[in-house]
């Protein structure tokens, strides 16, 4: 069965059945009637064809020795050479480890905080305070990554920074935060929470607003405390949204924060701040090793995809909401 | 205690409800109050954690750099000076970057919003043949992409390197925004409306431009704002696709000054250590001012934008 379907799709004209012909012409008629819709869709389709699928087609250079004259298609094949070189390189363990570290740390810390914030904001009595909190908490999302990292550099500066002034006031020694490998991960995650928790909270607040207030009234009548109502009504109520966002976060696990990591890099913290994507950037665009870095990028994408598929399956097994 | 069951209030008479309500609430009111206080304290601390660094940047930007350096600035500016701002406004790189950013933002937003609205409407039409397959083509790109290297090579092969197009086109359409727009159309444009319009002889173009778009103002506002913010703040495409300083957007100029500590604007040429240290402090002052100036436009627009972004989250949550 599964074999016949693609065959039919592939060669519709080869099917001699009269019934097929009718449905085909009917289909063509429907398509031609909707031509204006296709025109509307055309720019978006051209966009993904050129900027998404063409680069995807170009990924084959990960298995080739790319040279600009031959382009994607005609460059000579070299098999898995670039992957083997990457896996055997001394940076491999460090770069993959660093990536997983900040990805997992980011997920564990940065994912639950917006949920907690939303639950707390949602039960506030005063509408005005609610709105104020919301606005303030999500305002950093509108500050650019460049400026956020710029803020880090000035606030954490060892000579004049706010934080080190406070440390010295308390009698401690100043710390060169941006130039130390140990501090890269904490700063990365804390700044992520600082910048994005408020914005992520909005989605959960929207989901919370959709919960039937009758449930809360009923629970109140039954004598449930606020905490119990959050635990048994609010949390289950937003669980589908949480699951979907969690799977999406997993799907982007290894992609997020690349720009920030790149901006936060200093020669002194490279041993923790060099992640797969920044390594791709350095090897590929700064040293022009296109095939080698494309192979590393592909390795990253595949790892990501595998994680996504794995967690989607887990969610389905657990009868939770899934992406598909 | 099962709280997940449907409301049972109706089973009780008015009196029982009342008597049931008073007793447990009296007992629990104490717990609830503690909870309320704890929640408020947590939220106030979060607000402080968000606001204080920003507030500090603002007061530091107008303070005497020596006071900031010695850690004397905590709650109020000291030795007020606007020298940092004067230096920024005298810096031609900043003005040039700002001009470029304006061009990129206007052009990029126009391209992105038009493409997304048209495409999303077509995909929202359940009667468009091949809709599912086409949608799948878009969704796939959310989970797998060719990576920056091949994207760079494609842009290079297109001859777009170092042009405006390299900044506004490669990231023009976000599939997530497309999905939000599509579900907005699906939920707000009733089928009956289209059928009625078709009866009156309106074709798809006419219906989309004359009926759908005027009915979709909240969505259009949301899309415009999302893209203005994104373009204003983006630097990475410019970093990899542009190599001519005069085309750099503001964010890239900021990166070079704030993060890479390119202090050429302060004019430190040799001199003794003392004047070098002074120049360093001035450079720090300029950084504070620069952070304020570059973030201010969006921060001012924030209260106005909030309404639309909250609505956008609602549309997203409906999906």
Delimit the domains of chain B by residue range. 25-81, 83-313
Q: What's the rounded Cα separation, in Å, for the pair A314 and A317? A: 5
Q: Is the pLDDT of residue A169 over 70?
A: yes
Contact A156, A164 (CB under 8 A): yes
Please answer yes or no on whether A215 and B36 come within 8 Å at the CB atom: no
pLDDT confidence tier of residue B316, bands split at 50, 70 and 90: low
Position B317 scores a pLDDT of 56
Higher pLDDT, B72 or B231: B231
Residue B209: which H helix or E strand, with range?
none
Residues 297-316 of B with CB under 8 A from A: 298-299, 302-303, 306, 309-310, 313-314, 316
B39 neighbourhood in chain A, CB within 8 Å: 120, 123-124
Q: What's the rounded Cα separation, in Å, for the pair A110 and A113? A: 6
Domain B83-313 grouped into CATH 1.10.3720.10: yes
Q: What's the rounded Cα separation, in Å, for the pair A191 and A156? A: 12
B235 touches chain A (CB under 8 A): yes
Position B273 scores a pLDDT of 64
Position A8 scores a pLDDT of 40
Percentage of chain B exceeding pLDDT 70 = 84
Q: Is the pLDDT of residue B269 over 50?
A: no
Position A99 scores a pLDDT of 92
CA distance A16 to chain B (A): 23
Q: What tokens were used for B108?
A: 């990029």
pLDDT confidence tier of residue B79, bands split at 50, 70 and 90: confident
Please answer yes or no on whether B21 and A221 come within 8 Å at the CB atom: yes
Residues 82-111 of B with CB under 8 A from A: none
Please answer yes or no on whether B118 and A293 come within 8 Å at the CB atom: no
pLDDT confidence tier of residue A16, bands split at 50, 70 and 90: very low
- Between the CA of residue A241 and those of A115, A207, A248, A319, what are the distances in Å? 10, 7, 11, 14
pTM comes to 0.84
Average pLDDT over chain A reads 86
Buried b (16+ CB within 10 A) or exposed e, B231-263: bbbbbbbbbbbbeeeebbbbbbbbbbbbbeeeb
Q: Is the pLDDT of residue B268 over 70?
A: no
- DSSP class of residue B238 equals H
CA distance A21 to chain B (A): 17
B43 neighbourhood in chain A, CB within 8 Å: 117, 120-121, 124, 133
Q: Is the pLDDT of residue B262 over 70?
A: no
Percentage of chain B exceeding pLDDT 90 = 47
Average pLDDT over residues A222-238: 89
Q: What's the rounded Cα separation, in Å, for the pair B299 and B156? A: 36
Q: What's the rounded Cα separation, in Å, for the pair A48 and B144? A: 12
B149 neighbourhood in chain A, CB within 8 Å: 61, 280, 284-285, 290, 293-294, 297
């Amino acid at each position: 069965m599964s074999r016949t379907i693609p065959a039919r799709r592939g060669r519709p004209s080869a099917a001699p059945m009269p019934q097929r012909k009718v449905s085909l012409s009917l289909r063509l008629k429907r398509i031609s009637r909707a031509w204006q819709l296709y025109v509307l869709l055309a720019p978006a389709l051209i966009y993904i064809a050129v900027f998404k699928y063409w680069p995807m087609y170009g990924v084959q250079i990960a298995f080739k020795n790319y040279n600009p004259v031959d382009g994607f298609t005609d460059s000579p094949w070299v098999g898995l050479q670039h992957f083997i070189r990457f896996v055997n390189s001394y940076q491999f363990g460090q770069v993959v480890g660093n990536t997983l570290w900040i990805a997992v740390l980011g997920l564990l810390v940065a994912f639950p905080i917006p949920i907690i914030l939303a639950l707390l904001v949602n039960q506030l009595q005063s509408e005005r305070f609610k709105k104020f909190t919301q606005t303030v908490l999500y305002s950093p999302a509108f500050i650019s990554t460049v400026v956020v990292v710029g803020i880090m550099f000035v606030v954490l500066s060892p000579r004049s920074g706010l934080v080190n002034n406070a440390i010295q006031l308390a009698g401690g020694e100043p710390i060169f935060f941006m130039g130390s490998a140990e501090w890269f991960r904490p700063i990365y995650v804390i700044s992520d929470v600082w910048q994005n928790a408020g914005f992520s909270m909005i989605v959960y607040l929207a989901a919370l607003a959709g919960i039937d207030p009758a449930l809360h009234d009923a629970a109140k009548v039954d004598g449930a405390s606020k905490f119990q109502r959050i635990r048994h009504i609010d949390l289950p109520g937003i669980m589908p949204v949480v699951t979907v966002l969690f799977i999406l976060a997993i799907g982007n696990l290894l992609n997020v924060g690349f720009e920030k990591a790149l901006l936060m890099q200093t020669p002194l913290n490279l041993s923790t701040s060099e992640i797969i994507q920044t390594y791709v950037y350095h090897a590929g665009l700064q040293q022009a090793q296109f095939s080698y870095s494309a192979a590393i990028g592909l390795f990253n994408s595949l790892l990501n995809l595998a994680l996504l598929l794995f967690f989607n399956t887990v969610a389905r097994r657990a009868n939770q909401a899934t992406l598909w | 205690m099962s709280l997940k069951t449907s409301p049972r209030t109706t089973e009780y008479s008015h009196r029982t409800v009342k008597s049931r309500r008073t007793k447990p609430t009296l007992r629990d009111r104490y717990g609830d109050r503690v909870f309320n206080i704890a929640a408020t304290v947590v939220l106030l601390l979060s607000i402080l954690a968000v606001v204080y660094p920003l507030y500090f940047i603002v007061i530091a930007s107008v303070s005497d750099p020596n006071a900031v350096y010695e850690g004397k600035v905590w709650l109020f500016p000291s030795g007020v000076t606007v020298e940092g701002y004067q230096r920024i406004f005298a810096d031609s790189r900043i003005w040039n970057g700002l001009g470029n950013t304006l061009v990129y933002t206007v052009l990029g937003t126009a391209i992105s919003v038009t493409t997304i609205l048209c495409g999303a409407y077509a995909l929202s039409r359940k009667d468009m043949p091949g809709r599912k397959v086409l949608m799948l083509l878009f969704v796939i790109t959310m989970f797998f992409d060719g990576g920056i290297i091949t994207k760079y090579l494609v842009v290079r092969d297109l001859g777009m390197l170092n042009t405006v197009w390299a900044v506004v086109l490669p990231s023009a359409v976000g599939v997530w925004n497309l999905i939000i727009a599509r579900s907005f159309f699906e939920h707000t444009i009733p089928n009956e409306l289209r059928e009625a319009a078709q009866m009156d002889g309106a074709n798809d173009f006419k219906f989309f431009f004359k009926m759908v778009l005027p009915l979709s103002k909240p969505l259009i506002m949301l899309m415009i704002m999302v893209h203005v913010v994104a373009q204003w703040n983006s630097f990475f495409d410019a970093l990899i696709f542009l190599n001519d300083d005069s085309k750099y957007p503001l964010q890239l100029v900021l990166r070079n000054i704030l993060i890479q500590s390119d202090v050429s604007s302060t004019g430190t040429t040799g001199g003794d250590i003392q004047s070098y240290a002074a120049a360093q402090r001035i450079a720090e002052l300029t950084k504070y001012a620069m952070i304020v100036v570059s973030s201010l436009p969006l921060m001012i627009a924030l209260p106005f934008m909030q309404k639309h972004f909250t609505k956008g989250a609602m549309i997203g949550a409906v999906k």
